[in-house]
Amino acid sequence: MIFLTLLICVSSEKSWSWEKDSISITRELKGAGLKQDLVTKVNLLKPMSCILKETISQDWFIDIEEMPKSLKIQFFSKIDIELPSSLSSSHNFNIYLDDSIEFAYPIHIRYNDCDLENDYKKISLLAPVVECENNIYKINTIIESQVPIGKLTHLPGIISATGVVVLVTVVWICLTIHNLKKSI
């Protein structure tokens, strides 16, 4: 039930557009839940080489194995997909472009620490820095999401419910073993 809530409750400011000189970029976060698709459309109005310099904050991660094989990508570090956001760090990678392109890759929201007061945490996904023909463009926009997090005040109830479920399961297993021994 909690997992279903996570899939439904992640809300986002989903898209942005940017244009400068001979370049336009649109980006949209599609889907809902802990795994979404980041769709990027780059339109180059003249032939040129560009680099999208991506920084993914510790609240998100990409799985290198899920990246489109058609893209020329350079990763600068390993990405531990198992770490929660509190133990993770941001990661950087470059995407090299020679032409207009539209591509998508999955992006995942990391688990976040519980909080005493808040039910949600706001997380941000930065826009890339764009480098084309020795010009560097900093895009000052972000995609934001509200992510549900555990509330520490719920901890006693969760521990109690877990204890009851474990106890009932152990009793059921013992009764099943006892009945099997009787029937042999």
- For tokens 């780059």, what's the residue? 42
Q: What is the greatest pairwise CA distance in the chain?
A: 83
Provide the pLDDT for residue 8.
43
CB 85 within 8 A of CB 59: yes
The structure's pTM equals: 0.77
pLDDT, block means (10 residues), the chain with 184 residues:
43 80 93 92 94 95 94 94 93 95 95 88 93 93 88 89 97 94 82
Provide the pLDDT for residue 44.
95
CB 142 within 8 A of CB 128: no
Provide the pLDDT for residue 13.
60
Provide the pLDDT for residue 117.
86
Provide the pLDDT for residue 10.
54
Provide the pLDDT for residue 6.
43
What is the distance between the terminal CA atoms of the chain, rounded to a whole angstrom? Answer: 39
